[in-house]
Every structure is written in structure tokens, then in C-alpha cells.
Amino acid sequence: MNTNYILSDTFEKMRNYLNTNNQEGIATVKYQSPANLRTSIDFAINETGISENEFLELIDSYLDHSVRTGNKQFFNQLYAGYNLPAFIGELITTLTNTSMYTYEVAPVATLIETEMIELMNQYTGYEKGDGIFVSGGSNANLIAMFSARNRIAPESRFLGYDRNQRLVAFVSDQAHYSFDTAANVLGIGSSQVIKIKSDEKGKMIPSELEKEIEASLIRGEKPFFVAATCATTLLGAYDPIHLLAPICKKHHIWLHADGSFGGSAILSKENSLLLKGIEQTDSFTWNPHKLMNIPLICSALLVKERGVLQHNITDINTDYIYHDIDYIEDLGKKSIQCGRRVDAVKLWFAWKYYGKKGYEARIDRLFHMAQYAETLVNNSERLQLMAPRQSFSVCFRYKPTIETNIDAFNLELRESLRKSGKSIVNYGYLNNELVIRLVAANGELSHEDIDEFFFNIINIGHMLEAEKNETTK
């Protein structure tokens, strides 16, 4: 392979992709059905390989048919946008192609990850804290529950989990499904994860948690883990950590904060009260790949007490990896992974570039964009706000003027919008009613981008109404 030719052409394609990402008329996706996409791209691997020109054509095909998550009309997920210094960090990470288990093979990356964990702990208030970068928020939640289990049942590290202990975890009924998965993986069982009622805003009710813990104790169970959600997936609601912490302390229960979505609000002096009491938790999941616009994956688990993560690992007697010769902690000794990708470098590049104040301004901007979107919904005759905005999410629906099933209409509207490529937004169900959920996650959003999104929503809504009127004549 002609390396210079391939690299030169590839970087030119990347440059063109970035330059056109937010040009007028550029679709968020050129939608094709799975069947049609299979005819557009040859996915099969042949015996002899392909030529350099065919390889470059594959790059064109991939870019041409992928969703442009950096486009400012992408509101579909809890992440969005493009971050140049972080992207460069990602390229450097891939170029150097190392693993995070030892200082010996990752000297600069080891010091960078250590620095990032220390900085993130300054925001949580974990004075003796520690942490590790992991493969996503779900994995961080798993390790948090794993750490809680090992604290209450330290013998389980060697003997396995004793079912007679009947460990029980508690999460909000709006919490992420990863806690059920974690209980399954740890052998505790997803049925031992008790869902606590939330209020009309989607926040866990502290008195309900207290009641369920007391009931669990009466049943002879052993409560060991509570997870507070810092921005629920649909409403963006924050559980009241400062009210949950005294309950957990009273019952000697590990309190975890799942900030997979909204953890980055901690960077904002104006909005960090949403995480009031975070310093009283035992662990915290924080995903910079969400609101900090770091390329996927960039996720960290922070813990309040140094040594907790090392204690999770049963035995490390692998002299073929760990040699203890550089007088610095090898980060692999506190990770359940051996080979572990370097994910801290892209965050470091971005944080170095923007600085603390720059990132605070970016997070504040997201709050302001969500607030602006909420205002537009409230001022529109054709749109209905389905719940008060609490952070970065705005849940609404289109109000058709014709006689129709509103849920079905809004689902059709969303699908028409998605397949048009004009904007992409997701939906969910609130009180059994379908709502469209806009997420302000792109740090480069402007009022004009929000205006364009709602113009597209209302325009397609009008078109659908006209079509349905025509068919009923």
C-alpha cells in the first residue's frame, strides 16, 4: 500500500467532510433502508483484497452514508457535535496505539490519565479520591456496584457471591437499564434491583427510598447500593443527592451518582447545584463523550476513597506485564480490563485547549440553548411542552389541527423528519404519551440552529396534515 498516497487522500476526504458538515443543504443522513444500503456498499470480505482506489472509494461510501453527528441538526442522542482538539487527540491516540496497563508502554498517557482523574475529583470534592477511565457509562456503573459489593462482602472476591446474603440495590424507576445488567453480571440478579418511585419531575423520592430500604431489612435482605441519576434519559432530571446521602449514611449503603448524561453540569458554577451533595457520594460516573463533546468513548468512574479500585482486583502476580520499576502506579492494577484504550488523551487535548473557564462557558451555553428551545415551544401554537425543562432535554409534541391519533401522528412526523435528513431527533414515552425529545448537546449550537430545527418540525407537521386531509376527501 502506498502510505503517502492513501494518507494524503484520506486526510483530504476528512477535511472535506468537516468543511461541509454544517453547510446549508447538507443532510444529517442520506437515509436508505437496510436492504438498499447493502446494495450501495459491498460489505463482504473477498479472498484477494481490494485495490488502493477501491479502498478510498470505501471511505467515500462510509462517510456518505453515515449519520453526521457533528451536524447542528443532530439532536437525536445524548451526545452531538464536533470537537477539533479532541479529534486530534483521538488521531494521536490511534497513531501511537498503546495500552493503558503500564507506565512502561504508556508513559505520557499514564500521567495524562492521572492528571485528568485528579482534576475531575476537584469538581466532585473527593479529597482522597481516585478513578479510572472505562469503556462507557454502563461499565462505570457496573464497577461502582462491583466496588459496593466488595465493600459489604469482601470475601466474595475469592469465594464468590453468597446468595444467602441476599444483597439488594436501589435505583430510581427512571434510572438507566445498566444497573439491571450490572446486577446480572455480578450474580446478584436483576430482580434484586428495586426501583424507587420518582415524582412528577422524574426525580427519585427520598421518602420512598427510605421506605423500601426498611422493607428490605424486614425481609432479611442486605441493602448495599443506591444509585442517584444525574440527568435521566428522557426528562434530564437530577435525583436529590443531598437528600439521599443521609439515608445511605444511616444504613451504611454505598451511594453512587450516575452522571453518564448530565455529569458535566458539575463544570458550571451556575448549574452545578443540580449535583448538590455530590461530595457525599461514594462514586460518580462521568462521560465527557456526552456534553463535553469528546469523541466516543470517553468515560470515567471516580471513587471517593483511594485504594477501592485496587481492592476490586483479586490478585496481580503477572511479572510478564507489571515490573514495578518506574516508581509510579501502573494504572492497570486498578482496572478490570487488561488491554485498555487510551481515552484520557483526547479529553486532555480539549481541556488544555479550552481551559476550565472555556468548558464552563460551553456547558452554560447548552443550558441556554435548551432554555431557548423550551421558550420557542411555549410560544408556538403548533407545539406543546410535555414537561417543564430541567436541564438539557426538552420534551414536546406537535399539535395537529385535524382529527387524528396524536401519538401516531408525532411518530410519523419524527420518522419523516429523520428520513428527510433535515434534522434528527429522538422520542420516548411520558405517562404513556409519545413525546419528541430534543437534547442540547452540541457545544456549537446557536439560536439559528434551534430555529431551523423547529421550522423543520412545523413544516413537516403541516405537510403531514395536508396529506391526511387530502386522503380523507
pLDDT band at 117, cuts 50/70/90?
very high
Mean pLDDT calculated for residue range 22-38: 93
Residue 18 confidence (pLDDT)? 93
Residues 6+ away with beta carbon under 8 Å from 96: 342
Please report which helix (H) or strand (E) contains residue 437, including its range: strand 433-439
How confident is residue 325, by pLDDT bands cut at 50, 70 and 90? confident
Cα–Cα distance list, 451 to 319, 369, 377, 418 (Å)? 60, 11, 11, 17
Residue 25 has pLDDT above 90, yes or no: no
Query: What is the distance between the alpha carbons of residues 147 and 120, in angstroms, rounded to a whole number?
Result: 19
Distances, alpha carbon 150 to alpha carbons 50, 154, 300, 314, in Å: 51, 5, 20, 11
Q: Assess whether pLDDT exceeds 90 at residue 218.
A: yes
- Please determine, for residue 36, whether its predicted confidence score (pLDDT) is greater than 70: yes
Query: Average of pLDDT values for 364-369?
Result: 98
What number is the average pLDDT over the span 5-11?
92
Cα separation, 95 vs 342, whole angstroms: 11
> For residue 427, is it left (φ>0), alpha (ψ between -120 and 50) or beta?
beta
Distance of alpha carbon 401 from alpha carbon 450, whole angstroms: 23
CA distance 360 to 272: 10
Average pLDDT rounded to a whole number, residues 60-79 = 96
3-state class of 29 per DSSP?
Answer: coil
H-state helical runs in 21-105: 34-40, 52-65, 84-96
**Residue 143 predicted with pLDDT over 90:** yes
- In the structure, what pLDDT confidence band is assigned to residue 161 with cuts at 50, 70 and 90? confident
Residue 461 CB neighbours (<10 A): 23
Smallest Cα–Cα separation from 37: which of 67, 72, 69, 75? 67
Q: Which burial class, exposed, middle or buried, applies to 31 when counting CB atoms under 10 A from its CB (0-12, 13-18, 19+)? A: middle
What's this model's pTM, rounded to 2 decimal places? 0.95
Burial of 190-199, coded b for 16+ CB within 10 Å and e otherwise, reads eebbbbbebe
Average pLDDT, the chain: 95
Residue 423 near residue 73 (C-beta atoms within 8 A): yes
Residues whose CB is less than 8 angstroms from the CB of residue 71 and which lie 6 or more positions away in sequence, other chains included: 21, 22, 26, 28
Tell me the pLDDT band of 390, cut-offs 50, 70 and 90: very high
Q: Which helix (H) or strand (E) holds 171?
A: strand 167-172
Complete DSSP assignment for 192-221: GEEEEPB-TTS-B-HHHHHHHHHHHHHTT-
DSSP alpha helix (H) spans, 2-51: 3-20, 34-40
pLDDT at position 468, please?
83
CA distance 442 to 343: 20
pLDDT at position 471 is 74
Hey, how many other C-beta atoms are within 10 angstroms of the C-beta on 6? 14
CB atoms within 10 A of CB 301: 27
Render pLDDT for 268-317 as a digit per residue (tens, 0 to 9). Answer: 999 999 999 999 999 999 999 999 999 999 999 999 999 999 989 876 66
pLDDT at 147 over 90: yes
